[in-house]
A and B are shown apart, each in its own frame.
Chain A
Amino acid sequence: MTQKTIDIEVLRYNPEKDYKPSYQTFEVPFADETSVLQGLQYIKDQLDGSLTFRWSCRMEICGSCGMMINGVPNLTCSSFLRDYYPGKLRIEPLSHLPIERDLAVDQTDFLQKLESIHPYIIPKENQSVEEGPFKQTPAQRERFYQYSECINCLLCYAACPQYGLDSDFLGPAAMALLHRYNSDSRDDGKAERMPIVNAQEGVWACTLVGYCSEVCPKGVDPASAVNRNKVNSTLDYFFRFMAPKGAAE
């Protein structure tokens, strides 16, 4: 039996040689269980060792292998070549992010934004080891749980045209994680994070396109995190406006 093959068109860019990116097509044999990532690995191992792309876990946990497949942001480890057959695939680096080389993008901007939101629990008062852990009921955990599922794969940034048009926008994943900590009953860092929410580059750059929530591979709903914080930002504004100067919170 002859093995089925599929054409994979890859956007190539070598910053040392190319003025701009261009497409190169590879013919890749595949079986029912061959993922798109494995297709790329076949190219790298058998056809062109210079093809550059990121990957690690192969099971939708690490968030490294996000790419555009036929214009849609996807994790290549959990997308399968069979679903594109008999058509072909066009694989590009994640949209809206600078291409470093071939399919690898520069993630620096997101990582800086992630750091800026203080993505950790800021307790009201630190507790000693003897005092035990901060406790939480299942109902309290439920309030933030889905947002903590984010794996920083950046598919939502590739889905967000507002981020593409103005990369100052904090963006979906960073806002989802900000909301995750603000909604955590053990956290008391909201006052530190609200200026980030309130800024023009915070929630107000979002126009609720909603595609971020559509493409998230982990079922996080970043659009809800951003838009719920528009309400929070408005309330925050009015409360600060109404509170007498120097009054305690």
Chain B
Amino acid sequence: MATRRPYMRPMAGWWRRNPFYLFYMLRESTAVFVTLYALQLLYGVYTLTVGQAAFEAWLARLQHPVYIVFHALALAAALLHAFTWFNVAPKAMPALYLGTRRVSDRTVVRVQFVIFFVVSAIMLGVALGG
């Protein structure tokens, strides 16, 4: 009888082995930017409680090129974060049925995009109009 000696391959660097994993890591890393942005915004709200001068100083600081680059990156990360989540949402939510017919995954994804664009347009309208 032959000797059994099962060999386990190492996992080190697994996420570099396949473009799919690389994109997954990119998707997950967007959370870092979203967190930093949220903290930064929270700080802005905090300066409001300190007083007008503090808030305006914070606003002035945001004009710095470093902040502008950060915001551009955070926006890109937030969009990737949102879009990739829209795409996986049909997997995370219970299967939807209209009568006996299953609502297709593609429809679920599309409806989210439509809502996203409509809400974004309204908010942009309010922000620019107001």
Contacts and interface: CB of A to CB of B under 8 A. Distances in A.
Interface of A: 13, 15-16, 20-21, 71-72, 95-96, 98-100, 106, 139, 142-143, 161, 164-165, 207-211, 213-214, 221, 223-224, 227-228, 230-231
Nearest to B21: A161
Contacts of A98: 6-8
Interface residues of B, number: 26
Interface stretch (B49-57, B63-71, B88-96, B121-129): B88-96
Contact of A161 (B5, B6, B14, B88): B14
Contact of A21 (B4, B7, B14, B17): B7
Contact of B6 (A106, A139, A230): A106
A139 B24 CA distance: 35
Contacts of B90: 224
Interface of B: 2-9, 11, 14-15, 17-18, 20-21, 24, 28, 88, 90-95, 100, 102
Given A99-B7, A211-B24, 20 more contacts: A15-B2, A15-B4, A15-B6, A15-B7, A95-B9, A98-B8, A99-B6, A100-B4, A100-B6, A106-B6, A142-B100, A142-B102, A143-B95, A161-B15, A207-B28, A211-B20, A224-B91, A227-B91, A228-B93, A230-B92
B24 A209 contact: yes
Contacts of B100: 139, 142
Contacts of A20: 7
- Rank and list the top 6 A-B pairs by shortest CB-CB distance, nearest first: A98-B6, A15-B5, A224-B91, A139-B100, A227-B92, A99-B7
B99 to A, nearest CB: 9
Contacts of B2: 15-16
A145 B28 CA distance: 32
A165 B9 CA distance: 11
Contact of A208 (B11, B18, B21, B88): B88
Contacts of A21: 7, 9
B91 to A, nearest CB: 4
